[in-house]
């Protein structure tokens, strides 16, 4: 009898334990970028001040590319990556030309000079953004502004990236993901004429008008020869070529110690075949499949070169440009920058001013292809129309499903209404994306709402992007309970800060207020009245609890 009671009690305990969610289950963080860990371990003092430098003809030249903690090594020539690339059709009816040059397309702004600072990453990022707007919209954005506000708390209260106190502000360095974080949060870009390079510090002009809002940053695969296998080199090169022909210049990293072994001054040709990683940011602006291998200082195995734009002024190379062998082993990942008019999204709801730092899975044992949900809860501080949602994805062919819910409680599960449910799609490229809502959501001032995204990365175990404190990079990242939530099933939600201290999801909600035309002001038009009729009827039926309407 006693044994029966013991077994019954044990069975009851196991049943109850199985029914309860395990507090230790998930989430799991992706490992840090090994290149970042190596860079962080560099000696301070004598070694630190050279981080923003390379050597050219025996002289110190400014560079400044430094790696992010974000680990995207899974995108390096994995079989699944190759499969996704191979599935893409670029120009089957018209193969890529043997030579292509954005200079001949009117798609490049004039060559700039970053001297004497390690700000190459800002020059490469903004040159790519400017290129995407040409030939129809010539622009010159301020690198000074971008480099400064990355490392200083700005008037909006955004925290700065971690500053190395032993290195000058404009020699801190950075990479594309740092530029993407700053530009996508709405800090610039501003006009060069308003804040010229080397001029007054941006703090003296803290409220310059933003000219664009970064809405997409598309990842380009690593073309480096050390990972060229299983057909990857051809496919990676085609990804870059396709981007050049359809978007514009690509920001990319390289190892830029120009010496007699790597650089042919007479032909303006560069080829590095060693093990070192990228330390300088430049722009790929074209290619020449038949550029002779004999023109390089050290001869690669075959012909062909990228046409590259530098930021060392027009006295370098061929009026500021040079050729880099397809077989260069230091080429880092690239980014294509795309933007929208500054006034299109006048309201940015966000908790990730330092951007994508790591990736996370809601599962204790992550599995590629497993769906994951992330949600951020915001409050509308003015009447507005929610028009788009922005987030990062870590894989090719990532599926997403967007939901916007009006909340009556503290978590995404406490839904009062769901004005937008299950807007689905597939994002072909990794990177930062803005998805326009099929139907804008009207949010009266004071409305609490959640922006939720279900993400399925077909070949990666950590599908959700997070901003999180990482020593030496994003120490200033912070989060509060009740902001970001994750789920493994879309039903049960867990506060991210309880398990990832200081962590917030990189998920923005973009809107337009009354001044930018998102809502009506003053005497409403007939169309506005008709649009708001459903909202009024819902108020009559449900009292003052109803917070939103779709129009």
pLDDT by position in tens, the chain (length 551): 444 444 444 444 443 333 334 433 578 999 999 999 998 887 754 444 445 556 565 566 677 899 999 999 888 755 445 445 544 545 454 589 999 999 999 999 999 999 999 999 999 999 999 999 999 999 999 999 999 999 999 888 999 999 999 999 999 999 999 999 999 999 999 999 999 999 999 998 888 999 999 999 999 886 654 344 444 456 778 889 999 999 999 999 999 988 899 999 999 999 999 988 899 999 999 999 999 999 999 999 999 999 999 999 999 999 999 999 999 988 888 999 999 999 999 999 999 999 999 999 999 999 999 999 999 999 999 999 999 999 999 999 999 999 999 999 999 999 999 999 999 999 999 999 999 999 999 999 999 999 999 999 999 999 999 999 999 999 999 999 999 999 999 999 999 999 999 999 999 999 999 654 443 332 333 333 333 433 343 333 333 222 222 21
- Interhelix angle 176-184/120-133, nearest 10 degrees: 60
- Helix/strand number for the chain, H first, E second: 8, 26
> What Rg do the C-alpha atoms of the chain give, in angstroms?
25
Helix, strand, or coil (residue 531): helix
Residue-wise pLDDT for 206-255, tens only, equals: 889 999 999 999 998 866 543 444 444 567 788 899 999 999 999 999 99
Percentages (nearest 5) of helix, strand, coil residues in the chain: 25, 30, 50
Dist CA 484 CA 502 (whole Å): 10
Q: How far is CA 157 from CA 149, 354, 443, in A?
A: 11, 12, 24
Q: How many of the other CB atoms lie within 10 Å of CB of 316?
A: 18
**Are 521 and 514 within 8 A, CB to CB?**
yes
Report d(CA 122, CA 309) in Å as an integer: 14
Q: What pLDDT score does 539 carry?
A: 35
CA 222 from chain center: how many Å? 16
* The pLDDT of residue 512: 95
28-29/358-361 β-pairing: antiparallel
Q: Is there a contact between 502 and 477 (Cβ–Cβ < 8 Å)?
A: yes
Q: According to the model, what pLDDT value does residue 216 have?
A: 98
Contact 444, 482 (CB under 8 A): no
For the chain, give the longest Cα–Cα distance.
96
Cα–Cα distance, 362 to 384 (Å, whole number): 32
For 331, residues 6+ apart whose C-beta sits below 8 A from its C-beta are: 222, 223, 224, 252, 253, 254, 278, 324
CA distance 355 to 394: 13
**pLDDT tens column, 270-282:** 999 998 889 999 9
Are the C-beta atoms of 378 and 252 separated by less than 8 Å?
Answer: no
All structural domains of the chain, each given as residue ranges with its CATH number in brackets, are 48-336 (3.90.70.10), 343-550 (2.60.120.820)
DSSP state of 84: H
Return the pLDDT at 52.
55
Residues 62, 117: Cα–Cα separation, whole Å = 5
> Which helix (H) or strand (E) element contains residue 176?
helix 176-184
- Dihedral of the alpha carbons of 197, 200, 205, 210, in degrees to the nearest 10: 0
- Spell out the residues 6+ positions from residue 544 whose beta carbon is closer than 8 angstroms to its own: none
Q: Do the beta carbons of residue 502 and residue 479 sit within 8 Å? A: yes
């Amino acid at each position: 009898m006693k044994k029966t009671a013991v077994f019954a009690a044990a069975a009851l305990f196991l049943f109850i334990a199985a029914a309860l969610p395990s507090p230790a289950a998930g989430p799991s963080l992706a490992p840090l970028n090994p290149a970042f860990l190596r860079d962080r371990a560099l000696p301070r003092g004598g070694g630190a001040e050279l981080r923003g430098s390379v050597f050219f003809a025996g002289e110190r030249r400014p560079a400044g590319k430094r790696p992010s903690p974000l680990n995207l090594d899974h995108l390096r020539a994995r079989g699944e990556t190759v499969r996704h690339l191979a599935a893409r059709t670029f120009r089957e009816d018209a193969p890529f030309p043997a030579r292509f040059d954005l200079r001949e397309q009117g798609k490049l702004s004039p060559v700039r000079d970053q001297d004497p600072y390690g700000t190459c990453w800002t020059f490469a990022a903004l040159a790519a953004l400017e290129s995407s707007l040409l030939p129809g919209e010539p622009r010159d954005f301020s690198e000074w502004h971008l480099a400064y506000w990355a490392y200083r708390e700005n008037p909006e209260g955004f925290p700065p990236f971690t500053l190395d106190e032993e290195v000058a502000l404009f020699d801190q360095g950075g990479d594309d993901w740092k530029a993407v974080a700053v530009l996508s949060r709405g800090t610039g870009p501003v006009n060069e004429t308003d804040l010229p390079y080397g001029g007054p510090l941006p703090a003296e002009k803290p409220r310059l008008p933003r000219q664009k809002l970064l809405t997409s940053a598309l990842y380009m695969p690593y073309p480096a020869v050390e990972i060229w296998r299983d057909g990857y080199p051809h496919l990676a090169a085609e990804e870059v070529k396709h981007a050049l022909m359809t978007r514009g210049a690509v920001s990319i990293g390289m190892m830029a110690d120009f010496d007699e072994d790597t650089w042919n001054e007479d032909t303006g040709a560069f080829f590095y075949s060693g093990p070192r990683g990228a330390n300088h940011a430049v722009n790929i602006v074209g290619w020449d499949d038949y550029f002779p291998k004999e023109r390089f200082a050290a001869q690669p195995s075959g012909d062909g070169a990228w046409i590259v734009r530098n930021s060392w002024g027009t006295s370098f190379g061929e009026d500021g440009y040079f050729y880099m062998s397809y077989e260069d082993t230091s080429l880092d990942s690239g980014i294509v920058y795309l933007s929208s008019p500054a006034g299109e999204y006048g309201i940015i709801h966000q908790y990730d001013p330092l951007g994508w730092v790591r990736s996370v899975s809601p599962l204790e044992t992550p599995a590629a292809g497993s769906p994951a949900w992330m949600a951020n809860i915001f409050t509308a501080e003015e009447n507005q129309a929610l028009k788009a949602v922005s987030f990062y994805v870590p894989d090719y062919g990532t599926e997403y499903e967007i939901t916007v819910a009006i909340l009556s409680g503290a978590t995404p599960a406490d839904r009062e209404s769901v004005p937008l449910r299950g807007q689905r799609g597939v994002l072909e490229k990794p990177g930062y994306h803005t998805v326009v809502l099929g139907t804008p959501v009207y949010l009266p001032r004071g409305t609490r709402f959640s922006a939720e995204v279900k993400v399925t990365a077909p070949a990666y175990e950590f599908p959700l992007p997070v901003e999180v404190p990482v020593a030496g990079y994003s120490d200033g990242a912070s989060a509060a309970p009740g902001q970001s939530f994750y789920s493994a099933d879309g039903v049960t939600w867990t506060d991210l800060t309880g398990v990832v201290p200081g962590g917030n999801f990189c998920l923005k909600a973009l809107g337009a207020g009354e001044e930018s035309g998102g809502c009506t002001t003053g005497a409403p038009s007939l169309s506005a009245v008709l649009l708001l009729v459903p909202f009024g009827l819902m108020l009559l039926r449900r009292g003052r609890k109803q917070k939103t309407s779709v129009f």
